[in-house]
């Protein structure tokens, strides 16, 4: 495309809230054959809320939430924010944390009130040989409702499952349909567990998804699709997504996402809506048509 037509295209996209950082990305966008979408904060609002607290044995719900929220006050993960907010809403006062440790893609651990706390996914609990009993089925039932269940252990014994829900953005389903109508293979990628991912993908109208993807594995998924011959678009909002955004043929960042994601991407969707993807592709196609 001529520099002039690219400039016009960049301007048109900007009117739709799609910020294009380089002309090359604008030209490649029309060739995207597969679009990878991160789940949390990209397809969903990224603002999870606590929906269920299921305590084990004699544990008290308020006491469990206090410990869990105290532990999570050291984490910046969206799931952590949900736990802390939920405790605050109930007027629970936080305790003191020591030996805090975040286990990427798995959960968090720390000491509170002389107790050893562990909070995270099933894999983390299995690795630490925490007995889960019939709470596995309870977690599965919550996951089937598209909620994310997390296991909470106190002194190496299961104390509760706390589940959060993160609703799909109102217009994600329609925006995903637009991509599919363009013949684009839409793939969802998430660190979340398989059952939750399946439920969210179904709601969003996505047939293909990869779950339990560790942060460092996200960019590998982009490469895998590229090796299958796809021209890959990647859309994400998190620090986790940055390497994948950088390696994709075209990286799209959600405007409300982290700075690292925005800096790693070629295009920023300022309105946070996935409609920006089909908009960018349409502008790209129009730009290339103009030069012929």
Interface residues with ligand ADP (CB under 6 A) are 40, 72, 75, 77, 79-80, 105-108, 119-121, 148, 150, 190-192, 215, 238, 240
Residue 251 interacting entry, from ligand ADP, Mg ion, none, C-beta within 5 to 8 Å by type: none
Q: Does 44 bind Mg ion (CB under 5 A)?
A: no
Residue 237 interacting entry, from Mg ion, ligand ADP, none, C-beta within 5 to 8 Å by type: Mg ion
Q: With respect to ligand ADP, which residue has the nearer C-beta, 5 or 240?
A: 240
Q: Does 38 bind Mg ion (CB under 5 A)?
A: yes
Q: How far is the CB of 166 from ligand ADP (least distance, A)?
A: 9
Q: With respect to ligand ADP, which residue has the nearer C-beta, 18 or 108?
A: 108
38, 192, 266, 279: the active-site residue: 38
Q: List the beta strands (DSSP E) in the chain.
A: 18-20, 34-38, 49-55, 97-103, 107-112, 115-120, 148-154, 157-165, 185-189, 208-210, 232-236, 250-254, 267-269
Q: With respect to Mg ion, which residue has the nearer C-beta, 63 or 260?
A: 260
Closest residue to bound ligand ADP by CB? 191
- In order of 78, 89, 263, the CA distances from 86 in angstroms are 13, 5, 32
* Interface with Mg ion (CB under 5 A), residue from 10, 34, 36, 41: 41
Residue 120 interacting entry, from ligand ADP, Mg ion, none, C-beta within 5 to 8 Å by type: ligand ADP
Look up residue 151 and give its two tokens.
């296991």
Q: Does 40 bind Mg ion (CB under 5 A)?
A: yes
Calpha distance 36→185 (Å, rounded)? 8
Q: How far is the CB of 133 from ligand ADP (least distance, A)?
A: 19
- Choices 2-10, 31-39, 247-255, 281-289 (CB under 5 A): range interacting with Mg ion: 31-39
Q: How far is the CB of 72 from Mg ion (least distance, A)?
A: 18
Q: How far is the CB of 32 from Mg ion (least distance, A)?
A: 20
Closest CA to 271 of 175, 197, 182, 146: 175
Concerning whether 166 is annotated as a catalytic residue, the answer is: no
Q: How far is the CB of 76 from Mg ion (least distance, A)?
A: 13
Calpha distance 8→122 (Å, rounded)? 51
The residue written with tokens 């736990």 in the block is 83
**Inter-residue contact 97 to 70 (CB < 8 Å):** yes
Q: What is the DSSP letter of 61?
A: H
Positions annotated as catalytic residues are 38
């Amino acid at each position: 495309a001529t520099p002039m037509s690219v400039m016009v295209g960049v301007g048109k996209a900007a009117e739709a809230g799609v910020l294009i950082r380089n002309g090359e990305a604008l030209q490649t966008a029309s060739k995207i054959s597969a679009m990878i979408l991160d789940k949390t904060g990209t397809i969903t609002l990224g603002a999870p809320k606590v929906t269920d607290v299921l305590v084990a044995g004699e544990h008290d719900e308020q006491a469990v939430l206090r410990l869990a929220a105290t532990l999570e006050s050291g984490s910046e993960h969206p799931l952590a924010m949900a736990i802390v907010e939920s405790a605050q809403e109930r007027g629970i006062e936080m305790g003191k944390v020591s030996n805090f440790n975040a286990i990427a893609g798995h959960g968090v651990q720390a000491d509170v009130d002389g107790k050893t706390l562990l909070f995270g996914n099933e894999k983390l609990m299995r690795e630490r040989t925490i007995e889960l009993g019939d709470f596995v089925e309870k977690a599965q039932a919550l996951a089937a409702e598209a909620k994310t269940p997390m296991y909470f252990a106190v002194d190496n014994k299961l104390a509760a499952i706390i589940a959060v829900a993160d609703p799909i953005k109102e217009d994600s389903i329609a925006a995903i349909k637009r991509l599919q109508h363009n013949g684009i293979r839409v793939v969802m990628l998430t660190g979340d567990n398989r059952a939750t991912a399946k439920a969210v993908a179904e709601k969003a109208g996505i047939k293909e998804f990869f779950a339990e993807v560790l942060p460092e594995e996200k960019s590998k998924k982009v490469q895998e699709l590229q090796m299958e011959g796809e021209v890959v678009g990647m859309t994400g909002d998190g620090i986790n997504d940055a390497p994948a955004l950088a390696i994709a043929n075209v990286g799209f960042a959600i405007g409300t996402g982290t700075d690292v994601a925005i800096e790693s991407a070629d295009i920023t969707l300022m309105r946070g809506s996935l409609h920006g993807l089909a908009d960018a592709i349409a502008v790209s196609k129009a730009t290339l048509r103009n030069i012929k």
